[in-house]
Amino acid sequence: MPAILVEHISKQFSGVKALDDISFSIDNGELFGFIGPDGAGKTTLFRILTTLLLPDSGTAMVNGLDVVNDYLRIRQDIGYMPGRFSLYSDLSVEENLNFYATVFGTTIAENYELIRDIYIQIEPFKKRMAGKLSGGMKQKLALSCALIHKPSVLILDEPTTGVDAVSRLEFWEMLKRLKNSGITIAVATPYMDEASLCDRVALIQNGKLMAVSTPIEVTKTYPWKLFSVKADDIFGLLNDLRNFPGVHTVFAFGQAAHVSFKDRQTGEEKLVEYLQMKGHTGISVHSADANIEDCFMELMIKT
């Protein structure tokens, strides 16, 4: 039995389709990522899974329990971290954690093992009011609160949004450890680079799932020939590349541009020649493997 099973879920908000006939399943102990831009439908999907919203049509099961009829039992089993910081800012770190432990009928001591790795980092500040914590610490506290009742399924809505790069990395390390202890994790994120850290990912856009697969499988489906191009004047480079005959897409990735060609015959030499003719300096061109973001962009163009 999969931990989460969703079949043909649709949800509209005053005529706008937030979710459009979505189906997928998440296995027990899987770390499953939903990747997509803001407004793609991630939060709506998670609210349906956490029994906070009713789907217009379709069924969704968590641990074999229906989200509509068995909502009370599901609420015992899941840990949920909403996208917005939703703890009490006028309560201290310890009081927040204590409150959620009591509400779920447990104590901090009872499940301390589970949250120790995370909580130990914020424990020095346990007397501090939650509202005065930094972004990263708030997320750690929220995760601790979501975990304190030992849920079997953890649902995290954009846990790393607004968190610095180092804290993000730490956070994903923690998710890995939680996954290894057998907890099923569904996590939504707008950051493409986090996708490769998941067991499987679903690319979501405009309420539709565009691909559900392992990160590697997703990148393998990329159909075109791809180059990574660098030059000193990156802005001019992007413009010139777009005017190159036969070019399919040009996207900036940090200091480099990813250029794809539908025509597999296009070679590096031709590209270098063209750029030199345009007067660029410091040119470097490699053929590259597609990453998740390339695939995502490609899927967005198709739809």
**What is the rounded distance in angstroms from the CA atom of residue 240 to the CA atom of residue 278?**
8
Q: CA nearest 151: which of 47, 66, 79?
A: 79
Side-chain half-sphere exposure of 281, counting CA atoms within 13 A: 1
Please identify, using beta-carbon distances, which residue of 100 and 296 lies nearer to other proteins: 100
How would you classify the pairing of strands 16-26 and 153-157? unpaired
Please identify, using beta-carbon distances, which residue of 66 and 199 lies nearer to other proteins: 66
Give me the least distance between CB of 209 and other proteins, in Å please: 22
Give me the least distance between CB of 83 and other proteins, in Å please: 9
Give me the least distance between CB of 130 and other proteins, in Å please: 11
Give me the least distance between CB of 155 and other proteins, in Å please: 9
Instruction: Kindly list the residues in this chain that would bind other proteins in the complex (CB under 8 A).
Output: 47, 50-54, 71-72, 75-76, 78, 80, 82, 84-91, 95, 98-100, 102-105, 145
Please identify, using beta-carbon distances, which residue of 143 and 203 lies nearer to other proteins: 143
Please identify, using beta-carbon distances, which residue of 129 and 288 lies nearer to other proteins: 129
Give me the least distance between CB of 62 and other proteins, in Å please: 12
**Axis-axis angle for helices 135-147, 93-103 (nearest 10):** 20
Please identify, using beta-carbon distances, which residue of 82 and 215 lies nearer to other proteins: 82
Across the chain, the runs of DSSP E, i.e. the strands, are 4-13, 16-26, 31-35, 57-62, 65-66, 78-81, 153-157, 184-189, 200-205, 208-213, 225-230, 247-253, 256-261, 284-287
Token pair in block for residue 158: 């954009």
Give me the least distance between CB of 266 and other proteins, in Å please: 50
Neighbours of 298 (CB within 10 A): 21
Region of 33 on the Ramachandran plot (φ > 0 left; ψ -120 to 50 alpha; else beta) = beta
Please identify, using beta-carbon distances, which residue of 80 and 261 lies nearer to other proteins: 80
Q: Say which DSSP state 33 is in.
A: E
**What is the rounded distance in angstroms from the CA atom of residue 37 to the CA atom of residue 100?**
31
Residue with the two structure tokens 């389709």: 17
SS3 92: strand
Residue with the two structure tokens 């849920």: 151
Please identify, using beta-carbon distances, which residue of 39 and 279 lies nearer to other proteins: 39
Give me the least distance between CB of 240 and other proteins, in Å please: 47
Please identify, using beta-carbon distances, which residue of 52 and 283 lies nearer to other proteins: 52
Residue 17's beta-bridge partner residues?
Answer: 12
Give me the least distance between CB of 16 and other proteins, in Å please: 14
What is the distance, to the nearest Å, from the Cα of residue 221 to the centroid of all Cα atoms in its chain? Answer: 20
